[in-house]
Structure 1
Amino acid sequence: MRLLVLLAVLALAVTGCSGSDAARPGVLSAGLREPATLLPADVADSAGRLVTGALWTPLADYDAATGKLTPRAAESIESTDRVHWTVKLRPAAFHDGTPVTAQSYVDTWRAIAASRWAAAPVLTKLLRAREITASTPDTISLVLDRPSGQVPALLSAPGLVPLPASVLASHDWKGFAAAPVGNGPYRLDGAWRPGSGGTLKRVGSGQAEEIELRVGDPTAQYDAVKAGTLDLATEVPGEKHDAMHDDFDDGHHATWALPRAGYLAFPVANPRFADATVRHGFALGVDRAALEAGPLAHQVDPAKALLPPADAPGERSGTCRPCSFDAAAGKALLQQAAFPGGATVYFGPSTEAWTRTLVVGLHKSLDVSVTAQPLSGPPDGPSTLDVSLATASPYELLSTLATESGYTDEVFGQNLALADAAATPEESGELYRLAENQLLRDLPVAPLWSGHGHAVWSSRVHDVLTTPFAGPVLAGIGVS
């Protein structure tokens, strides 16, 4: 009997789930991986975004139902000249009871800009404000270094949420990440328990009274939802990808675009890759489906455009020829350009596994010698990129891709600047498409894949909506 009890306890420890807890009225149990951090300005992983998305309310975000940018903590974000911007705040308080003021944002953004956190480039490279002040307790005033219509999109970045005065004074970022205090619809009840999880208590407009976040193995969590001992699994492992559609009804699983994409960047200043014909030849030699089904384990989609769906300005139209796999055409282009043969593809720590598969495929399809090597200095051959986005503005990604490849073009730069300065989303979207099309023509980078997330949930769960940055929106999920 003792052995059976011990085995049962061990089983619960492995799955992080229990049958009785899953059915508590008003309580949602959700499985996730261990977040890398719960300091919102430094979050770059899906699990961290899931948790901080419930603990904080951003100034604005993209409505999960309509896809339109919608003010949240802000009452309005306005400008008459796109240089001077005014953000009016709704009344709000942190979970410790202190008020959220304009100064909270000013001081938080000053700390972020001075850091190396993931959100820092949003302020220093994208927003580029010459002056940010709290003109009144509920008004943030910004003066930019140039006209920009992208400010509402940039301020919707989940990393730009406010921090309470206590941590801004102490600078105890590690301690704060262990017991974060936000301004969102849920507060963390006690400290986060690494390897175990935490409990969220409703303090705002969330549907569930309580959310139990359970850290564990995605495969075990998937099986627990199927068995009815967990309400929601926020990740579906590759080996369960095909079974998901049979194991769960259409209304009980979802796939959504993530702000993440993979590319092959070419050193355009290197004479061997200066000819766009060569770059197109390599792009056509990539079997993206093999990457998706192999080392990327069904967690991505083969690229169909330069911009991933999470970052695309409006509806996509047309085809992406460099996104196709056409070994014969790729080989012919290299022959046409008299490519001398032989190339090294460089990789960083996050891209090694799929780069090695990519290299084997290129060697086979293009019949040229291709090897893989860790990146340790300026590359003399293509390099793989795994890009995680901090905002939903295409400016961030397009400028990053041009920088990574060393691509400079006057028309491209003008279109990017005009898109940034455009007065309306429609106008900026058209200009971003022009810039995107130019990159697809000149191809300093070849799009390979875009990330997506999966979730499955039990029959007692309803109203599951997802967004690229939050994944399943925990505050909107109901349990019966």
Structure 2
Amino acid sequence: MRLLPPLLAAVALAACTPAAEPPSPDVLTVGVGEPASLVPAEVRDQAGRTVVSALWTPLPPEAATSPDLLTWTVKPPASRFHDGTPVTAKSYVDTWRLTGGSLGAKEITAVDESTVRIVLDRPAAEIPAKLTAPAFLPLPESVLTSRDWAGFSRHPIGNGPYRLAAPWEPGKGAKLLRDNGNPREIELRVGDPRAHYDAVKAGTLDLATEVPGDRHDAMHADFADRHTMWPLPSAGYLVFPLGDKRFEDAAVRYAFAMAADRAALAKGPLGDQADPAKGALPGDRSATCRPCTHDPAAAKAFAGQGGLSGDVNLYFEPADEAWARALAEQIQGTLGIPVHAKPRHEGTLDGPLAITVQAATPGETVAALTTATGYAGAGFGDLVAAASSATGEEERAQRYRLVENQLLRDLPAAPIWTGHGHAVWSSRVKNAAARPFGGVELAAVSIQN
């Protein structure tokens, strides 16, 4: 048999390969990553947040009210789970007790079928915002009884506008259905973000919920008015061992913080999926964050002032290895001391630790940082209490800025980066928008052919 030359063979094969079909007029096609879990309390990644947001309807902030910020009354809107059972106050109470949603509550009870009572151990004004998080979504009695979390993750039962047509297929995805609205079906396709991006550009996919770093710059030209970015509830910090004499002096902590080239980390190992940190807490900061500034000369001066010398170990969790190793190299190159990046081990660490904090509110971030560092500076607890109990949003923001100022002054943890998400979509997609610290709201998206 006579073989075709390689070039002609490739052309012939391409001619025989069917072209990718454009999306169906009635189906929204969405590219997502593989969720680590679809159990709301276990959701930590962007893919999980995207899918869960379509399967569940969270409590609206106005559902929670309190006369004193200590005793809260929660009135969930009437709804049903996809299995037909009603969502009651008991659904929320049983879910929170079992999954351990952190509210700082002394008491959580179902007063009646439609009322939840929460009694806190200290005043907190962020309760309405916290209750919108995935961890506080209700679960049906069937899984609360069986506790088959693996099975539930494959076929979750929520109370949202969309339901799964069949169990989730790892590596493939699933179909979401709704009884009314546009569209009535969403086809979730698991795959590589690069392939999803190119498919949207080619018109064979409607929406890509992640944009890889090597498409980040092109995104603005390829999808000038059809892309969005939003902050994610994730941030990276370098946590210092405050009990270690080498790090007792804040000058040494400043040296490490200012040796970090955050822009290079964001562009390199973080793959344009993060921004250089501009402060210690979520939200915009008007004042300059001095320790967030890359200043090699100042870093060396602070290291000398603090008497830093000898080898330093910089530890990391497995998920943080890439940027932690790059950060260790930056610090070593700037300060001129050996810095060894090592996996975290059990017990007391003899060097700083790179961590990722998952938190969408200032209060949650403060709690995570104080837990990680054991920091208890003079008057800090009073500042935190005043901020968490402030009733007005503007007053609360101002008080948390005072909390942040002390964190940046004493620097128990150096802010390194904050996460952000990206999405791009085709010209037939309408009403695509992302919720801060969440993702693209699939239930709000419509298609126009």
What TM-score does the superposition give when structure 1 sets the normalisation length?
0.87
Q: Residue 78 in 1 paired to residue 52 in 2? A: no
Distance change >3 Å, CA 136–CA 330, structure 1 → 2: same
Equivalent of 1:346 in 294, 315, 339:
315
Distance change >3 Å, CA 318–CA 190, structure 1 → 2: same
Q: SS where residue 471 of structure 1 aligns? A: coil
Q: Residue 59 in 1 paired to residue 59 in 2? A: yes
- Contact 1:300 1:452 (C-alpha < 8 Å) held by counterparts: yes
- Contact 1:49 1:469 (C-alpha < 8 Å) held by counterparts: no
Partner residue of 2:210? 235
- Contact 1:323 1:448 (C-alpha < 8 Å) held by counterparts: yes
Partner residue of 2:353? 383
Q: Distance in 2 between matches of 1:256 and 1:437?
A: 25
Equivalent of 1:325 in 286, 291, 294:
294
Q: Distance in 1 between matches of 2:234 and 2:37?
A: 18
Q: Distance in 2 between matches of 1:26 and 1:388?
A: 36
Q: Distance in 1 between matches of 2:68 and 2:322?
A: 48
Q: Distance in 2 between matches of 1:235 and 1:364?
A: 33
Q: SS where residue 379 of structure 2 aligns? A: helix
Partner residue of 1:67? none
Q: Residue 261 in 1 paired to residue 235 in 2? A: yes
5 Å-filtered alignment, 1:81-100, equals: 81-100=68-87
Q: SS where residue 133 of structure 1 aligns? A: strand
| Deviation of the 1:77 alpha carbon | 1.3
Distance change >3 Å, CA 59–CA 6, structure 1 → 2: farther
| Deviation of the 1:155 alpha carbon | 1.1
| More divergent stretch after superposition (38-47 vs 150-159) | 150-159
Q: SS where residue 243 of structure 1 aligns? A: helix
- Contact 1:19 1:230 (C-alpha < 8 Å) held by counterparts: no
Partner residue of 1:212? 187
Q: Residue 289 in 1 paired to residue 228 in 2? A: no
- Contact 2:230 2:437 (C-alpha < 8 Å) held by counterparts: no
- Contact 2:233 2:438 (C-alpha < 8 Å) held by counterparts: no
Deviation string, structure 1 residues 255-312 (Cα, Å, up to 9, x no partner): 11111111111111211000011111111111111111211111111111112xxx32
Q: Distance in 2 between matches of 1:388 and 1:476?
A: 25
Q: Residue 479 in 1 paired to residue 444 in 2? A: no
Partner residue of 2:386? 418
- Contact 1:132 1:141 (C-alpha < 8 Å) held by counterparts: yes
Partner residue of 1:463? 431
Partner residue of 1:44? 44
Q: Distance in 2 between matches of 1:7 and 1:190?
A: 33
Deviation string, structure 1 residues 190-234 (Cα, Å, up to 9, x no partner): 111111111111246x54221110001111111101110000011
| Deviation of the 1:425 alpha carbon | 2.4
Q: Distance in 1 between matches of 2:55 and 2:17?
A: 33
Q: Residue 27 in 1 paired to residue 46 in 2? A: no
- Contact 2:373 2:412 (C-alpha < 8 Å) held by counterparts: yes
| Deviation of the 1:254 alpha carbon | 1.2
Q: SS where residue 19 of structure 1 aligns? A: coil
Q: Distance in 2 between matches of 1:457 and 1:388?
A: 27
| Deviation of the 1:360 alpha carbon | 1.2
Q: SS where residue 241 of structure 1 aligns? A: helix
Partner residue of 1:394? 362
Q: SS where residue 350 of structure 1 aligns? A: helix
Give aligned-pair identity as a percent: 53
Q: Residue 112 in 1 paired to residue 86 in 2? A: no
| Deviation of the 1:466 alpha carbon | 0.6
- Contact 1:158 1:469 (C-alpha < 8 Å) held by counterparts: no
Q: Distance in 2 between matches of 1:163 and 1:336?
A: 55
| Deviation of the 1:7 alpha carbon | 7.7
- Contact 2:208 2:423 (C-alpha < 8 Å) held by counterparts: yes
- Contact 1:346 1:383 (C-alpha < 8 Å) held by counterparts: yes
What TM-score does the superposition give when structure 2 sets the normalisation length?
0.93
Partner residue of 1:439? 407
Equivalent of 2:123 in 147, 152, 160:
147
Deviation string, structure 1 residues 355-378 (Cα, Å, up to 9, x no partner): 111111111112222121111131
Q: Distance in 1 between matches of 2:211 and 2:15?
A: 28
Q: Distance in 2 between matches of 1:269 and 1:157?
A: 34
- Contact 2:309 2:337 (C-alpha < 8 Å) held by counterparts: no
Q: Distance in 2 between matches of 1:194 and 1:461?
A: 26
| Deviation of the 1:469 alpha carbon | 3.5
| Deviation of the 1:236 alpha carbon | 0.8
Q: Residue 275 in 1 paired to residue 243 in 2? A: no
| Deviation of the 1:400 alpha carbon | 1.2
Q: Distance in 2 between matches of 1:47 and 1:235?
A: 9
| Aligned residue-pair number | 437
Q: Distance in 1 between matches of 2:263 and 2:122?
A: 42
Partner residue of 2:5? none
Q: Distance in 1 between matches of 2:291 and 2:447?
A: 45
Partner residue of 2:164? 188
5 Å-filtered alignment, 1:159-174, equals: 159-174=135-150
- Contact 2:278 2:285 (C-alpha < 8 Å) held by counterparts: no
Opposite residue 438 of structure 2, the aligned amino acid is: A
Q: Distance in 2 between matches of 1:380 and 1:207?
A: 56
Partner residue of 2:197? 222
Equivalent of 2:104 in 96, 120, 128:
128
Q: Distance in 2 between matches of 1:107 and 1:336?
A: 54
- Contact 1:233 1:455 (C-alpha < 8 Å) held by counterparts: yes
Q: Distance in 2 between matches of 1:207 and 1:462?
A: 10
| Deviation of the 1:4 alpha carbon | 4.4
Opposite residue 201 of structure 2, the aligned amino acid is: K
Note the residue ranges of structure 2 that are not aligned, 5 or more in a row. Answer: 1-8
Q: SS where residue 97 of structure 1 aligns? A: coil
| Deviation of the 1:162 alpha carbon | 0.7
Distance change >3 Å, CA 163–CA 336, structure 1 → 2: same
